[in-house]
Chains A and B, each alone.
Chain A
Amino acid sequence: MLWVDKYRPKTLDKVLVHQDIAENLKKLVTEQDCPHLLFYGPSGSGKKTLIMAVLRQMFGASADKVKVENKNWKIDAGTRTIDVELTTLSSTHHVELNPSNAGFQDRYVVQEIIKEMAKNRPIDTKGKKGFKVLVLNEVDKLSREAQHSLRRTMEKYSASCRLILCCNSSSKVTEAVRSRCLNMRINAPTEEEIVKVLEFIGKKEGLQLPPEFASRIAQQSNRSLRRAILSFETCRVQQYPFTNNQAIPPMDWEEYVSEIASSILKEQSPKRLFEVRGKLYELLVNCIPPDIILKRLLYELLKKLDSELKHEISHWAAYYEHRLRLGQKAIFHLEAFVAKFMSIYKGFLIETFG
């Protein structure tokens, strides 16, 4: 088992990082007056962990027994029927699903499937009416229509069902949905907190962890706890006992991007652009999301530029990322950014050095 999963806190008491939020959540659950919840924050900050812990606090150990189901739904939409395939993760008390996976048909998922699930009210062993929880991931990727349909569902079935929504950025969730939930901002853990967690794991595993090394892992992790733990485990496999100046292997795609960055800084020509295209294709083929490539590329370039150029390059990065979002083919926009950079940089070099 990976350490990330092994040391994921199972209950709200054991949470190491967001203790104040966990405390609040516990209060909510014990008062049995739990509103709809919306968790938002950057990836690797612990949203999922908190949600699982809340479920466990609500329903006890039975919330851990989950099964994966792959269901086909036939939806009657007036003149035609639509087939939607959806993977759900469910226990007896909760269902977790990812409605944005249905793409442009997400409206039907919300209107029909989620409504269907919300309607059915569970009855516990004593015959009392209980409620169930629906966990919806990536609500920020839902279309506008789907979000509008969601708000009616949230009100109508609030007696039998609680929704827990989870997303990266709350600005993409409509105001109407946000105002019906209790919003929980989950911030990324600070470097000190990451170090604390790493030390905790080190102690449990019986490892000697030099403090300097731990803080270096934390620095490289970009404030993502998941990544810090993963790279900690990688280092453990590579070399143990740890030394203070041990190299922390960077992600291979990051290395690849920094190679691209230095190659376009070295030479600006159509030939080099053609070479870079091949490299970008390779990254895309390996399923690295294009916006992450662009962001990383900007990060690498900014390190080596004069401050007046930085403004310009960051502007164009934002410009092409927006284009990328509107367009279909990622490679065009990535390449356009590289070409733009080359032209600006070359012009700058000619101006300064003649």
Chain B
Amino acid sequence: MAPVLQSSQPWVEKYRPKQVKDVAHQDEVVRVLTNTLETTNCPHMLFYGPPGTGKTTTALAITHQLFGPELYKSRVLELNASDDRGINVVRTKIKNFAAVAVGSGRQGGYPCPPYKIIILDEADSMTEDAQNALRRTMETYSKVTRFFFICNYISRIIEPLASRCAKFRFKPLTEEIMSSRILYICKEEGLHLDSEALSTLSSISQGDLRRAITYLQSAARLFGSAISSKDLISVSGVIPAEVVQALFSACKSGNFDLADKKVSNLIAEGYPVSQMLSQLYDVVVEADDMSDEQKARICKKFAEADKCLIDGADEYLQLLDVASNTMRALCNTSQEFSLGV
């Protein structure tokens, strides 16, 4: 007999701010958009910034506040990377949607301005051709349609599109704002989180609130209502600091066999090597007792190994190579091999 599934909503959705003024830490955008709500005048917008800072949330909140639930379906078109967004879609679907004119007039307490909104989420993954096809469409229908572009990297949006929009940068969240949000969720869900776990959560999620909430939910599912910082680390897949330090000190010791043993141990423990590299990188950059040249030599190797890993190279061999290179840099032996290149 198949068990019945309870409807469970991810907390990320459950605690998504519903109103523009609730969006944390992005004062500039919030000010402009509250203004929009009053005057119902709105330019094309381009939101950019790192993941988990509230770009999609803001876009969804403003459209909901402008149109209300009834008109939302007919006035807003939402497309993201998992929908097909090739040039054909731009030419047919977006154009058709943009072309239809709409009337104005307040309905049920919502401003309902006389235009429609098209939200293009993850716009940086659109092809250049598709973006080019949008240029003229944006201008022709600017009377009845506004575009919201959302992306992580503004450099991937072609210049003609970017220059047609008002640009807003979303800053990564600071630790205090993140903590206050997390504490609010903990209170709502009846979780207990001590201050150490809270600071761990802020540091492993690196300013990405969505990631922090996801980790919190997985930890709550696995370990119940009392969550320690160790639980959070095990859920997030971050490698414990002691393990990284152990490898680093093995490299410092200058003993190849010791490093080799540590590396094969790491692989057997199943830690992802790309994660290892980025954490080792943090350790190297912060280390005080190394010269700049040593750091540069080590980081260069990190970059090479990372590329190789993305190409699908073997994790053990790459990590061993990195370890041996780090060891040579730390012990100041020559970088170039004496024989053959």
Chain A interface residues toward B at CB < 8 A: 24, 27-28, 31-33, 35, 40-42, 45, 58-60, 93, 122, 124-126, 128-132, 148-149, 151-152, 159, 169-172, 178-179, 182-183, 185-188, 222-223, 291, 294-295, 298, 302, 307-308, 310-312, 314-315, 317-319, 321-322, 325-326, 340, 343-344, 347-348
Q: Which residues of A contact B167 (CB under 8 A)?
A: none
Listed by A's residue number, 9 A-B pairs whose Cβ atoms lie within 8 Å are: A31-B221, A130-B3, A130-B5, A131-B2, A131-B3, A307-B255, A315-B321, A315-B325, A317-B317
The 3 nearest A-B residue pairs measured at CB: A130-B2, A152-B82, A171-B274
B241 at the interface (CB under 8 A from A): no
B237 within 8 A of A: yes
Do the beta carbons of A32 and B218 come within 8 Å of each other?
no
Task: Name B317's contact: one of A93, A314, A326 (CB within 8 Å).
Answer: A314
**Any chain A CB within 8 A of the CB of B313?**
yes
Kindly state the separation between the CA atoms of A31 and B271 in the bound complex, as whole angstroms.
28
Q: How far is the CB of B213 from chain A (nearest CB, A)?
A: 11
Residue in B260, B268, B318, B337 whose beta carbon sits within 8 Å of that of A42 in the complex: B268
* Residues of B bordering A, CB below 8 Å: 1-8, 81-82, 210-211, 214, 218, 221-223, 234-237, 255-257, 260, 267-275, 305, 308-309, 311-318, 320-321, 324-325, 327-328, 333, 337-340
Instruction: Say whether, besides A35-B221, A130-B4, A130-B5, A321 and B317 are in contact (CB < 8 Å).
Output: yes
Q: Is the CB of B309 within 8 A of A171?
A: yes
Chain A residue contacts of B340, Cβ below 8 A: 340, 343-344, 347
Contact of A60 among B1, B5, B81, B337 (CB under 8 A): B1
Residues of B within 8 A of A152 (CB): 82
Whether A28 touches B311, Cβ cut-off 8 Å, given contacts A171-B275, A347-B339, is no
Report how far A58 CA is from B338 CA in the complex, Å.
60
- Chain B residue numbers with a CB within 8 Å of A122 are 2
Q: How far is the CA of A297 from the CA of B2 in the complex (A)?
A: 50
Task: Report yes or no: A178 in contact with B237, Cβ–Cβ below 8 A.
Answer: yes
Contact (A322, B270) CB under 8 Å given A28-B222, A171-B275, A315-B321: no
Bound-complex Cα distance A182 to B221 (A)? 10
Contact in complex: A125, B269 (CB < 8 Å)? no
Interface contact B268-A311, CB-CB below 8 Å = no
Evaluate contact between A24 and B222: CB separation under 8 angstroms: yes
Residues of B with C-beta under 8 A to A343: 339-340
| B268-A188 in contact (CB<8A) | yes
Bound-state CA distance A291–B316 (Å) is 11
Query: What is the bound-complex CA distance between A191 and B223, given in angstroms?
Result: 28
Residue of A nearest to B268 (CB): A188
Q: A130-B4, A317-B317 are in contact. Are A35 and B312 (CB under 8 A)?
A: no
Q: Can you add 7 more A-B contacts, CB < 8 Å, to A185-B271, A295-B317?
A: A32-B3, A33-B8, A41-B270, A295-B314, A314-B320, A317-B321, A347-B338
Are A169 and B273 neighbours in the complex by a CB distance under 8 Å? Answer: yes
Task: With CB as the reference atom, state the residue of chain B lying closest to A172.
Answer: B312
Contacts of B267 in A (CB 8 A): 42
Chain A residues touching B, majority SS: helix
Cα(A155)–Cα(B255), bound, Å: 48
Contact of A315 among B3, B257, B324 (CB under 8 A): B324
Q: Give bound CA distance, A122 to B260, whole Å.
A: 50
On chain A, the residues within 8 Å of B321 by CB distance are 314-315, 317-319
* Residues in B neighbouring A170, C-beta threshold 8 A: 237, 272
When chains A and B are docked, how far (Å) is the Cα of A122 from the Cα of B313? Answer: 41
**Distance of B235 from chain A, by nearest CB (Å):** 7
B274 surroundings in chain A (CB, below 8 A): 171
Q: Of A28, A58, A186, A310, which contacts B221 at CB under 8 A?
A: A28
Contact of A298 among B308, B315, B317, B339 (CB under 8 A): B317
Assess the A124–B1 pair: CB atoms within 8 A.
Answer: yes
CB-based contact B218/A159 at 8 Å: no
Among A60, A318, A326, chain B packs the most CB atoms within 10 A around the CB of: A318
Q: Please, which residues of chain B bring their CB within 8 A of the CB of A31?
A: 221
Contacting residue for B269 out of A24, A60, A188, CB 8 A = A188
Bound Cα distance from A344 to B337, whole angstroms = 10
Which residue from B82, B210, B273 sits with its C-beta under 8 Å from A151?
Answer: B82
| CB-based nearest B residue for A222 | B268
Contacts of B313 in A (CB 8 A): 318, 321-322, 325
Q: Are B222 and A27 closer than 8 Å at their CB atoms?
A: yes
Q: Which residues of B contact A314 (CB under 8 A)?
A: 260, 317, 320-321, 324
